[in-house]
Amino acid sequence: MSHQEKDSFGAKLGMWLFLFTEMLLFGGVFILYSVYLNRYPKEFGLGGHQLDLVFGATNTVVLLTSSLFAAMSVTAIKRGAKRLTLGLLSVTIGCALVFLCIKYLEWSAKFHHGIYPNSPKLIAGPPGESIFFSLYYLTTGLHGIHVVIGGILMTWTAVMVQKGILNSTDNVTLENVTLYWHLVDLVWIFIFPLYYLIL
């Protein structure tokens, strides 16, 4: 095994360990959700029905599409197709921005209707509904931060591809960033049914 191959293996192993800690983080949030769902099933149902299914479904399609293009960018760079790689990364970054814009619109609509943590409307209602929306903002807010980080990382790797630092023989950084992006996508695949569909 060459020195470069050892470095690549170490980088990939480090990324997988990091992704494991991220899964533990979101796993803890999902466990918390399950505990309160079991305690307040009716109130969670009422809260879930107030979420916009169109926004949620659209963002699901956007993230799935972004993951496809991110995976294709790895294949493209391995084949030495620099322009194609940059194009695919641009679409992925664009999808991240679209996702964040939709999430902003969704949150804005909820705030406009007085639905936010510790709002008078939620305080006056049943406690379970308030807990539902607190978890909703916690989960989607935490996920949104990861989308922002992923978008920044994708932009950074695109710059490295443009400069030729990442190429057909040295592309482990792009692979790792793409793995991170797939995690962001995977987490949303859990968030969407838990908050928008199951209830």
Average confidence (pLDDT) over 2-19: 75
pTM of the model: 0.93
Say what the pLDDT of residue 28 is. 96
pLDDT at 80 over 60: yes
Q: Is residue 103 part of a domain?
A: yes
Share of residues in the chain with pLDDT > 70 (%): 96
* Total tally of structural domains belonging to the chain: 1
Q: Is residue 4 part of a domain?
A: no
Q: Is residue 120 part of a domain?
A: yes
Tens digit of pLDDT for each residue in 49-61?
Answer: 999 999 999 999 9
pLDDT at 199 over 70: no
Q: Is residue 168 part of a domain?
A: yes
Q: How far is CA 63 from CA 58, 90, 101, in A?
A: 9, 14, 13
Q: Is residue 18 part of a domain?
A: no
Q: Is residue 9 part of a domain?
A: no
Say what the pLDDT of residue 3 is. 46
Q: Is residue 65 part of a domain?
A: yes
The residue segments making up the domain with residue 94 are 43-197
Q: How much is the mean pLDDT over the chain? A: 93
Let me know if 14 is exposed, middle or buried by CB neighbors in 10 A (0-12, 13-18, 19+).
Answer: exposed
Domain CATH code at residue 186: 1.20.120.80
Tens digit of pLDDT for each residue in 124-152?
Answer: 988 899 999 999 999 999 999 999 999 99
Q: Is residue 54 part of a domain?
A: yes
Say what the pLDDT of residue 158 is. 97
Q: Grade residue 5 by pLDDT with cuts at 50, 70 and 90.
A: low
Say what the pLDDT of residue 12 is. 83
Structure tokens at 61: 């399609």
Helix segments in the chain, DSSP class H: 3-39, 41-48, 53-78, 82-112, 120-124, 127-163, 172-192
Find how far residue 45's CA is from the centre of its chain: 24
Cβ atoms of residues 67 and 185 within 8 Å: yes
